Chains A and B, each alone.
Chain A
Amino acid sequence: MAAVPLSYYLVLSGILFFCGVLGFLIKRNIITIFMSIELMLNGVNLSFVAFAAQWHSLNGQVFVFFVMVVAAAEAAVGLAIIIAVYRTRETLNVDQVNLLKL
């Protein structure tokens, strides 16, 4: 069986990552933007695991483990913030949350 070249995995990871960035730029809903961030994190996870497989070291996977933990915590806090923002602004449109303008 022919194996899959490592670069394919990296390309897939990159595609996921940049889709996340695009979503961050394009979407207007805060929650959707947040989900794009999760998409980015996933892309990175994939490249970690791919490299772990290449170098035959489990460190990469442990790192993925930590990344997931951090992502979970961040998702919790982030959603709490979104709820708090929704309370005051009554909107989920990120363009209207711009009180920090100069």
Chain B
Amino acid sequence: MTLTSYLWLVPLFPLAGAAINGFFGRRLPKQAISAIALLFCGLAFGMALLLAAGFSSASAPYSCDLAHWIRSGTFQVDFSFYLDQLSLVMLLVVTGVGFLIHIYSIGYMWDDESYYRFMAYLNLFMFFMLTLVLAKNYLVMFIGWEGVGLASYLLIGFWFTKDSAASAGKKAFIVNRIGDFGFLIALFLIIQHFGSLDFTTVFNAVTPLAKETSGAGFLTAIGLLLMVGAAGKSAQIPLYVWLPDAMEGPTPVSALIHAATMVTAGVYMVARSHVIFERAPEALTVVAVIGTLTAFFAATIGIAQTDIKKVLAYSTVSQLGYMFMACGVGAFSAGIFHLMTHAFFKGLLFLAAGSVIHGVGGEQDMRKMGGLRVYMPWTCATMGIATLAIAGIPPLAGFWSKDEILWQAFNVSWVYWIIGVITAFITSFYMFRLMYMTFGGDVYRGATSPSGHGIDDHGHSTGHGDGHGHDPHESPWVMLGPLVILAVLSIVGGLVGIGNHFEHFLAPVFQGPAVEAATEGASEAGKSGLEYLLMAVSVSVAGLGWFLAYLLYSRSPQLPARIATSLGGLYRAVVHKYYIDEIYAALFVKPLIEGSTAILWHGVDQGVIDASVNESAHAARELSDNVRHMQSGNLRSYAGWVAAGGAVVIAYMVWMGVTH
């Protein structure tokens, strides 16, 4: 029995951890809970490493069939897991980053009274995410898909006593649902046309099909619907609205789910279905357009946010847009590459933000921070590394992946490229803005008493004592350790992209005309001058963003306010996220609620169901009210009834006698 035959253990380890912590965690001491959670997550990570050691770009994909599930005529779906290069990459990212975040959470959530619940939910999320990544057919992937949505809901609304957190969880789940609907329809179409949901079967059936030219083909439909699902899960236009609200959850949740793993499920799904997309060019174009637009749109919103986590949230949406842009131009491996590096630096950014919030006692507004590099040197250093990475400064990880995407995009259309470059400029700007506002300067603006956020993003009982504004402090090593590890990964993680090694590793998965042409067009032997030129452009743009941020937030901090007032309405629109939430509320939510209230509640529930029950009771009452007058106690009326009844019977008998 080779190791790969135990593939099914990888998702089941965290499930066991979740079950133990979930059922028994209330009675276990915190040390035991932490140990259990870490143990099972670590086991999954360990197995992933072992599997990776035995896997190379030439290895054949491995299937692990666990059990029968649906056997209905010719249609069958089994619980099967699948390991190829793509799922291996995802597996390593998920288990690796997940393991680090588990360690971090021990420190961050230690003082929370529902500590066991948090650890159980984290493990549960790992189980579902691993199911999604290792699935061999769309239906098992859908289990994972829905499951991570559930875990996300549970974790966003972890502090469910807070109204905003509960609403945010609900919003995330419902918006995800809309995407899932598209995904489901796509599944139905796949079943209808191919009779199976198994990846191998479907892709083998799709491969000989020709590219669809006009937009009327079913492959285009499937591609578009899959993209709807991905837009819901990965927070793209128009279904991104849940991600900023999801920042209500604890920061480790934001790091794990809404940066590194869950939101990347959409990208993974599109990459996995690349066979379908490559034969539906119009769907692919839609993917690229959505990705590009989202990248730009979200970046512009990120400029004006003052909450440190919201900036990172919009940044996540923007970077996911980059990944979809990559997939949309056919560079699926570039998209996965950026997924991996993004997991490193965005996870690091969120964890460091959590460290900052932990250190200042719960404050999340950057206007009340500043000068924190003195108090939190390690956090500042690691966050700085992550900022360099996301801005795309070589030789850190973000540079390699972002550049690969921009290069591939340029080969398809310069429009994508130019928007991508502008977005890179904006990204660099707002990330360095964040750094300067939080760590820069000499004055800690929150030096007065710590703002009361209620439960806020912390759960940290202020054992430091209220009343006097306590100084910000560095976080314990249980939280700093993962930061350092992720910082190292952010530095070296991109180097696998040199020489297109990463692409070659994934080549067996993405063998397709688009990728082939791209790799051969820009082979390692002949990195064309054009590519270097574009590289230089993107780097200088990133530098420009840094400089602008330095100008506005370090040198002349009074400038931003003046610019804001002079821009007036435009600035207000950006600050209010272009009022998208309000528009959605007016367009969809309000009519839906009012329609439901009027039609379903008053009309159907009260008017039909309640009314029928009440009316039948009422009718019974009326009937008995009228019939009871027969019981008058009057002997003669009784006799009258008897006589009349007797006459009827006699008449009947006579009639029977006459007619027969």
Contacts and interface: CB of A to CB of B under 8 A. Distances in A.
- Taking the complex as a whole, does A directly touch B, i.e. does some CB pair lie under 8 Å apart? yes
Interface of A: 21, 24-25, 33, 94-95, 97-102
A71 to B, nearest CB: 19
Interface in B596-654: 628-629, 631-636, 639-640, 643
B631 A101 contact: yes
A99 B643 contact: no
A100 B639 contact: no
Contacts of A98: 632-635
B636 A101 contact: no
A95 B640 contact: no
Contacts of B643: 21, 25
A89 B632 CA distance: 18
B633 A24 contact: no
A94 B636 contact: yes
Contact of A102 (B628, B636, B639): B628
A58 B505 CA distance: 117
Contacts of B633: 97-102
A94 B636 CA distance: 8
A95 B628 contact: no
A86 B619 CA distance: 41
5 contacts: A33-B635, A94-B634, A98-B635, A100-B631, A101-B633
B85 to A, nearest CB: 86
B631 A25 contact: no
Contacts of B635: 33, 94, 97-98
A95 B635 CA distance: 7
A8 B523 CA distance: 127
A67 to B, nearest CB: 19
A99 B635 CA distance: 11
A98 B634 CA distance: 5
Given A24-B636, A97-B633, 17 more contacts: A21-B643, A25-B636, A25-B639, A25-B643, A33-B635, A94-B634, A94-B635, A94-B636, A95-B634, A97-B635, A98-B632, A98-B633, A98-B634, A99-B633, A100-B633, A101-B632, A102-B633
Contacts of B631: 100-102
Contacts of A21: 639, 643
Contacts of B640: 25
A23 B498 CA distance: 119
Nearest to B640: A25
B644 to A, nearest CB: 10
A97 B635 CA distance: 8
A21 B629 CA distance: 23
Nearest to A26: B636
B628 to A, nearest CB: 5
Contacts of A102: 628-629, 631-633
Contacts of B639: 21, 24-25
A50 to B, nearest CB: 19
Nearest to A28: B636
A78 to B, nearest CB: 13
A40 to B, nearest CB: 12
Nearest to B624: A102
A94 B643 CA distance: 18
Contacts of B636: 24-25, 94-95
A24 B635 CA distance: 9
A79 B345 CA distance: 108
B447 to A, nearest CB: 84
A94 B629 CA distance: 18
Nearest to B629: A102
Nearest to B643: A21
A14 to B, nearest CB: 11
A69 B633 CA distance: 30
Contacts of B632: 98, 101-102
Nearest to A98: B633
Contacts of B634: 94-95, 98, 101
A25 B639 CA distance: 6
Nearest to A99: B633
A24 to B, nearest CB: 5
Contacts of B629: 102
B303 to A, nearest CB: 81
A25 B635 CA distance: 9
A95 B639 CA distance: 12
B352 to A, nearest CB: 82
A95 B638 CA distance: 12
Q: Nearest 7 A-B pairs (CB), nearest first?
A: A101-B633, A98-B633, A102-B631, A100-B633, A102-B628, A94-B635, A98-B634
A95 B640 CA distance: 13
B61 to A, nearest CB: 83
Contacts of A25: 636, 639-640, 643
A53 to B, nearest CB: 24
Nearest to B634: A98
A24 B632 CA distance: 17
A21 B645 CA distance: 13
B83 to A, nearest CB: 80
Contacts of B628: 102
Nearest to B635: A94
